[in-house]
Copies of this chain bind each other. A is one copy, B any other.
């Protein structure tokens, strides 16, 4: 585990950070300025714990690259994974509504560049700007739908279907058919946990999925012969259908 490197960003925030901020909070240049003031980019190795549930929160985070796992755990160490977040995502910001306390723990699962942003600025900005609050509401509503779907998947889909659904989301090819190549972005063990199953089950379920639809699997790289066929297999047990735009 390499040591963490820091880099100050305050004055010259990279464009992608501003874009990410703007996308999530829907705010203009001036607000962006205030939000990214005091921001610091840090490189973290896989395995690094950013914060744990219950920690006092002074920052929230933006993922420039890599993957971050958010989770909670029981006294005897069993983990409940909340989400595994990709590049471009923001996390830890909901501590604002939880007495400045993180409601979950966060761990780097693939080497990552993380921007640490001051919570205080967000707090004052959100109180000052209705636009910001509304954008955040919209984001929260989207997340809410996602979580509802998550519960649904666990109830209605079996293991191979859940994997199929996961692959479809990875291949976010909206609509068009034909072969698609994808690469699992993190450990199969972690994918399994993300989908609420054991690694062994994942391995076997992936094999079953391969029997049911045309897939070529070689390690972490997977070729889907027909998105259409995969969607039929997975989405038949789901209330929304590929490309999951809902009604």
Contacts and interface: CB of A to CB of B under 8 A. Distances in A.
Interface of A: 53-54, 72-76, 78, 80, 82, 94, 96-98, 101, 103-104, 126-130, 133-134, 136-138, 140-145, 147-148, 150-152, 154-156, 196, 236-240, 246-247
Contacts of A82: 148, 151-152
Contacts of A128: 130
Contacts of A103: 145, 148, 246
A128 B133 CA distance: 11
Nearest to A96: B141
Contact of A141 (B98, B152, B154): B98
B130 A72 contact: no
A105 B153 CA distance: 17
Given A72-B239, A80-B156, A140-B144, 11 more contacts: A54-B247, A72-B152, A74-B236, A76-B236, A82-B152, A97-B137, A103-B145, A136-B137, A137-B137, A140-B141, A154-B155
B148 A151 contact: no
17 contacts: A72-B239, A74-B237, A75-B236, A78-B237, A94-B144, A97-B137, A97-B141, A97-B142, A103-B148, A126-B137, A127-B130, A140-B141, A144-B144, A147-B147, A147-B148, A151-B196, A154-B155
The 3 closest A-B pairs by CB, nearest first: A54-B247, A97-B141, A80-B152
Contacts of A137: 97, 126, 133, 136-137, 140
Contact of A154 (B54, B140, B151): B151
Given A73-B239, A80-B152, A94-B141, A134 B134 contact: no
Nearest to A197: B155
